[in-house]
Amino acid sequence: MKKNKLLTLSLAAALALSAATATVSASPNDAVQEKVHINQKTKSADFIFGKLTNPSQKAAKEIVFTYLEDKQELYKISGGAAANFKVLEQSTDELGMVNIKLQQTFKGVPVFGHILTAHVDKNGVLTALSGSLAPELFKKNSLKKGATVKPSEASAIALADLKAQISKDVEIDKQVGPQLTVYVKDGEAKYAYSTEFQFLHPEPGNYQYFIDAKTGEVLDSFNQMHEAKPTNGVTAPTGTTSTASGKGVLGDTKSFNTVINSNGSYLVDKTRGGGIFTYDASNRTRIPGTLWLDADNVYNAAYDAAAVDAHAYAAETYDYYKEVHNRNSYDGNGAQLISTVHYGRSYNNAFWNGSQMVYGDGDGVQFTSLSGGLDVIAHELTHAVTDTTADLIYQNESGAINESMSDIFGTIVEYHANNNPDWQIGEDIYTPGTAGDALRSMADPTLNGDPDHYSKRYTGTGDNGGVHINSGISNKAAYLLANGGTHYGVSVTGIGNAKTADIFYRTLTQYLTPSSNYSHYRISTIQAATDLYGAASSEVASVKAAFTAVGVN
């Protein structure tokens, strides 16, 4: 594996379903037009779509739960809908559809990674159910009895293992949990305690652990750096909003909002959502650091450059999501955008820790200051969008889709801002002494050794099961959808960036679920395009062709 595969723009891991081949069957009920997509690993439904119910004035939740009562055999559950699901969210989108997110539960305990999304149109017709469930939990002898290990014992076991993995000197900044969950892997289901440890020393990390609730065994652990749940705790300084100018990492001059008071000019933008705040770590590893303060509101010093780009590009990413998708910050609720630059010394990475962005300065050889790439910043903030929507588990195929979504929108934001756009990732900050290269190419993933077809996917355990490597498959599909072309003998008619972005945004926010694989991804994207343009549209035909061209059927 090439070294740049390990220098990731974000870190995390978990479980995912293996690839499935779509099979579709029609409902015999003439009043209902129903198609079912089967997950080939679990042999149960992971996508049902069509006119699933007749028009109704009933509440959307009642429509969905009534339908699920009749589909227990198909989903391989028992005991009724109320016993198997908990409503997590309900919202109405721009098409007038009511979208409900359901957590699978077993005896009241959440089942890790298993979510359903349900979609009811403005006429009260259920049009789609997306997501896979853990099947036949009621048959598992391992779930007949509950936990015997105490939560405090599970926490101690996890912490001891973390120290053995990382360092005995690891300094925990925050622990989340432990929480009892049902953990399913390779067909085995166990009660487990889930707990998370967030830390920066001796290296940044946010490890999630699953501890067997009966034996105390460590079932799994992984670094889910960008999946920590955000908290907003920054208070803006008092003062007057102003416009400042400054030079970025590449020497270009840009303008951005600041707050001025008697102390000087702060890198704070109070005009967007809950605010944009940029901090200086002063080459240390404590975050957020010191809120950036300048004397004269002109940011032209060399040391200012990383902060100028972090601040301005966070605003440009915010503007894209708000102007194009009416999304108010990454969570849709105006979450603060917090960035820290000059993290560590010669630090060759950037990461989202769940509450904020952090940028290293690079070593000047492999990377320059990582905040100097708009697509890098938009890539990372799209991970935050993913975490608050589909929450794609960051391993194997779901992790590759997660990575690709960040690449897709990193590129789209670059085009939206007209910032020397191209279909490469990280070209502005990668190997500053070498012209023309990049971390990844979406137009031709093979330039960086990544697959451009599902038949060539990486199946090893490195790179969290190939999350960056196998993102090339989806990246190539997105490139073809936007630009058109012929790939592996399949011709795709391009539909342009705007429609491509709308389709993938709807796919991400409405249909993908934590354990989505490539097969589920394809059918989800087709459904998103169907919602927007109609089943018989040329856009839907192009989506189908793009996925077929990269071997996802």
Of the candidates 45, 50, 33, 39, the one whose C-alpha atom is nearest the C-alpha of residue 16 is 39
Interior CA angle at 396 toward 8 and 214, to 5°? 110
Does residue 468 have an active-site annotation? Answer: yes
Helix (H) or strand (E) holding 519: helix 518-533
Whose tokens are 């500053």? That residue is 432
Residue 322: how many other CB atoms lie within 10 Å:
16
Residue with tokens 């029609």: 26
Segments of 186-314 assigned E as strands: 188-201, 205-212, 218-223, 240-247, 253-261, 264-266, 268-269, 276-280, 290-291, 293-294, 298-299
Reduced to 3 states (helix: H, G, I; strand: E, B; else coil), residue 13 is coil
For 98, the enclosing helix (H) or strand (E) is strand 98-106
CA distance 469 to 445: 9
Distances (CA, A) of 329 to 338, 356, 494: 11, 12, 29
What lies within 8 Å, CB to CB, of 230 at 6+ separation is 330, 331, 335, 354, 355, 384, 388
* The pair of three-digit structure tokens given for residue 460, joined into one six-digit string: 């090893």
Catalytic residue, from 196, 227, 316, 380: name it: 380
Give residue 397's Cα distance to chain centre: 13
Q: Please give the Cα distance from 350 to 301 (Å, whole number).
A: 22
List the structure tokens of 199: 């830390």
Q: Which amino acid is at 331?
A: D
Given a contact cutoff of 8 angstroms between Cβ atoms, the answer to whether 219 and 212 are in contact is: yes
Q: Is the peptide bond before 202 cis (omega within 30 degrees of 0)?
A: yes
Q: Given 3-state DSSP classes, what are the helix, strand and coil percentages for the chain, each rounded to the nearest 5? A: 30, 25, 40
Distance CA 31, CA 386 (A): 36
Q: Both tokens of residue 468?
A: 């960056």
Catalytic residue among 379, 416, 468, 487: 468
Compute the distance between CA of residue 514 and CA of residue 177 in angstroms, rounded to an integer.
Answer: 20
Residue type for 495, please? I
Residue 460 backbone zone (phi > 0: left; psi -120 to 50: alpha; other: beta): beta
Give the C-alpha separation, 227 to 207, whole Å.
Answer: 10
Q: CB-based contacts of 58: which residues, under 8 Å, 6+ apart?
A: 66, 124
Residues 226, 373: Cα–Cα separation, whole Å: 19
Where in the sequence numbering do the catalytic residues fall? 380, 468
